[in-house]
């Protein structure tokens, strides 16, 4: 379960109200697309779920529990840029999360644990279509490949919520279509709830189960400071899309359940 509830959340920077009284329930395994004009606070909203920013008023719950005040492994993120580490190879980037989680002192795995992790990473790299690029550095990858890598890196942590801030905004249309395929498959196969900010309405309706628009209702210059953006549209895609019930993290059919 990873339902998000947003209760009467306000966000202000100094005198400027950015988000005004948002309330929202996001169901487990939903795929929410967040759209709206530039500067209306989409990134701010995402950052609050991430734990990078705190609401000025109101609260956000994840499965009924208040969000921890800082980012953590239960919420993964993919940005438009700076999502992967330039000093690590593809393999290094994908293995980083589990390495950090497993070795709290050195941040590195060795021996059998490392080999097991490397196998897992290779499978994940293949799943996002980057097989064969394990030893390349991000600067040697195209933009689309870098975003695939960012997805693989985030998913290695099996986050309950995946947050995406215009992840495919810089990609050209053909590559974007390919990565949409991948994104759909991952959402189906990985037990997570996704929230994606996008400027591309087509992308929103292609991927999401629900499209939410944020907008400032009062946007005259003298009103801009005092009134923030609100939810102006909340569209559930019909016919409803439902995430796959069997996920790639489940044991194979007929296998012993893990102890």
Partner 1 sequence: MRWINRRPRRGAEMLLLCLPFAALVAAYLIGSAIRLDANPADKLLPSPAQLWAGIQRIALMPDPRTGEWLLWSDTAASLMRLAAGLGIATVIALLLGMAVGLLPYLRASLGAFVAFLSMVPPLALLPILFITLGLGEAAKICLIVIGVAPIMTRDLALRVHEIPREMIVKAETLSASTWLIALRVVLPQVLPRLLTSLRLQLGPAFLFLIAAEAISADAGLGYRIFLVRRYLAMDVIFPYVAWITLLAVLADIAIDRLRSRVFPWSDLERGA
Ligand X SMILES: Nc1ncnc2c1ncn2[C@@H]1O[C@H](COP(=O)(O)OP(=O)(O)OP(=O)(O)O)[C@@H](O)[C@H]1O
Binding site for ligand X (CB under 6 A): 13, 18, 36, 38-44
* 40 interface partner picked from Mg ion, ligand X, partner 1, none, CB below 5 to 8 A per type: ligand X
Asked if residue 198 binds Mg ion (CB under 5 A), the reply is no
Asked if residue 159 binds partner 1 (CB under 8 A), the reply is yes
CB of 66 to partner 1, least distance (A): 18
CB of 137 to Mg ion, least distance (A): 27
Choosing from 79, 158, 206, 248, the residue that interacts with partner 1 (CB under 8 A) is: 79
Shorter beta-carbon distance to ligand X: residue 53 or 63: 53
Query: What are the two backbone dihedrals, phi and then psi, of residue 236, each rounded to the nearest 5 degrees?
Result: -90, 130
Cα 167 from Cα 93, distance rounded (Å): 17
List the structure tokens of 25. Answer: 């329930």
What single string gives the DSSP state of each residue in 200-225? -HHHHHHH-SEEEEEEES--STTTTT
Query: What are the two backbone dihedrals, phi and then psi, of residue 15, each rounded to the nearest 5 degrees?
Result: -85, -15
Peptide bond into 239 cis (omega under 30): yes
CB of 89 to partner 1, least distance (A): 8
Asked if residue 44 binds Mg ion (CB under 5 A), the reply is no
**Do residues 31 and 187 touch, judged by C-beta distance below 8 A?**
yes
Residue with tokens 């974007």: 176
Which residues would be at the binding site for partner 1 (CB under 8 A)? 50, 52, 70-73, 75-77, 79, 81-83, 85-88, 96-97, 99-101, 104-108, 137, 139-140, 153-154, 157, 159
């Amino acid at each position: 379960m990873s339902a998000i509830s947003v209760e009467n959340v306000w966000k202000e920077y100094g005198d400027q109200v950015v988000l005004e009284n948002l309330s929202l329930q996001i169901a487990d395994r939903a795929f929410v697309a967040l759209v709206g004009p530039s500067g209306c606070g989409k990134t701010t909203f995402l950052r609050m779920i991430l734990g990078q920013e705190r609401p000025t008023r109101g609260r956000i719950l994840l499965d009924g529990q208040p969000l921890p005040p800082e980012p953590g492994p239960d919420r993964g993120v993919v940005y438009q840029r700076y999502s992967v580490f330039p000093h690590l190879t593809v393999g290094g980037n994908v293995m980083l999360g589990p390495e950090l989680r497993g070795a709290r002192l050195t941040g590195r795995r060795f021996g059998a644990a490392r080999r097991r992790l490397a196998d897992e990473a290779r499978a994940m790299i293949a799943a996002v279509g980057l097989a064969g690029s394990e030893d390349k550095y991000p600067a040697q990858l195209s933009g689309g490949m870098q975003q695939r890598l960012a997805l693989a890196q985030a998913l290695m942590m099996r986050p309950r919520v995946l947050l995406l801030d215009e992840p495919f905004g810089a990609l050209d249309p053909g590559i974007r279509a390919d990565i949409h395929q991948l994104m759909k498959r991952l959402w189906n196969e990985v037990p997570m709830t996704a929230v994606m900010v996008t400027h591309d309405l087509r992308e929103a309706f292609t991927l999401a189960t629900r499209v939410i628009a944020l907008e400032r209702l009062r946007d005259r210059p003298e009103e801009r400071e005092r009134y923030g953006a609100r939810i102006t549209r909340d569209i559930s895609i019909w016919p409803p899309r439902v995430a796959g019930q069997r996920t790639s993290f489940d044991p194979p059919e007929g296998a012993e359940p893990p102890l």
